[in-house]
Chains A and B, each alone.
Chain A
Amino acid sequence: GNSVTQMEGPVTLSEEAFLTINCTYTATGYPSLFWYVQYPGEGLQLLLKATKADDKGSNKGFEATYRKETTSFHLEKGSVQVSDSAVYFCALTLIYNQGGKLIFGQGTELSVKP
């Protein structure tokens, strides 16, 4: 079946540290891949996306590259801030251009200390 696996959390970093959150997927067909972020008390917000192999999504200093050969979409940021503290969800969909359900990983909580 189709699924997403994320690295376990919580992840605790100091401000300005480098961030990597691993995400791998299993999918039939050619998925589109997403990272969503959930700040405390708020709904999910789209952080970035990639719709085909080798695409790089980027936003707010975060980046992720769609790697078909390793079925991965790892999230990276060169220098995290306290305001980046949130839960990050990797997700896929198989019918991007037609609208389709998102399949989420379990989420990774990030805590950034000053």
Chain B
Amino acid sequence: EAGVAQSPRYKIIEKRQSVAFWCNPISGHATLYWYQQILGQGPKLLIQFQNNGVVDDSQLPKDRFSAERLKGVDSTLKIQPAKLEDSAVYLCASSIRTSGQETQYFGPGTRLLVL
């Protein structure tokens, strides 16, 4: 079974530029998450989708971050304009319910450096 795919794996941009990340979840997984992992910290949720609807975006800086999940499959996360403090690894995860329980599966992440 293919895992969660993310691209690009690495991105370097200058501050005030825009950037977009792409995520393809595991086939059939209804729930998709984007997490931000700053160096030396644990991941923090940015946004959670259930199919193509947003469940939780309370920690998403909406003045600069946006995300969408068209057709309830792939998802993109965009930052515009980027700030130095956005340098982090952006992790995508997907989950499915089996036997009444859910497990999140993570992609390899996109490492962003803002100069």
Contacts and interface: CB of A to CB of B under 8 A. Distances in A.
Given A43-B91, A43-B108, A106 B42 contact: yes
Contacts of B107: 43
Contact of A107 (B42, B97, B100, B109): B42
Interface stretch (A60-68, A76-84, A95-103): A95-103
B89 to A, nearest CB: 9
Contacts of A36: 106
A44 B108 CA distance: 7
A89 interface: yes
Contact of A104 (B43, B56, B101, B108): B43
A91 B108 contact: no
Given A4-B42, A102-B43, A43 B4 contact: yes
Contacts of B43: 44, 89, 102, 104
A106 B3 CA distance: 25
A49 B101 CA distance: 11
B103 A46 contact: yes
Contacts, number: 56
B18 interface: no
Nearest to B41: A106
A104 B44 contact: yes
Interface of B: 3-4, 31, 33, 35, 40-45, 48, 50, 56, 91, 93, 95, 97, 100-109
A104 B42 contact: yes
B75 to A, nearest CB: 15
Nearest to B42: A104
25 contacts: A36-B106, A43-B3, A43-B107, A43-B108, A43-B109, A44-B43, A44-B91, A44-B93, A45-B106, A46-B104, A51-B101, A89-B42, A96-B102, A97-B102, A99-B31, A99-B95, A99-B97, A100-B48, A101-B33, A102-B35, A104-B42, A104-B43, A105-B42, A107-B40, A107-B42
Contacts of B56: 101
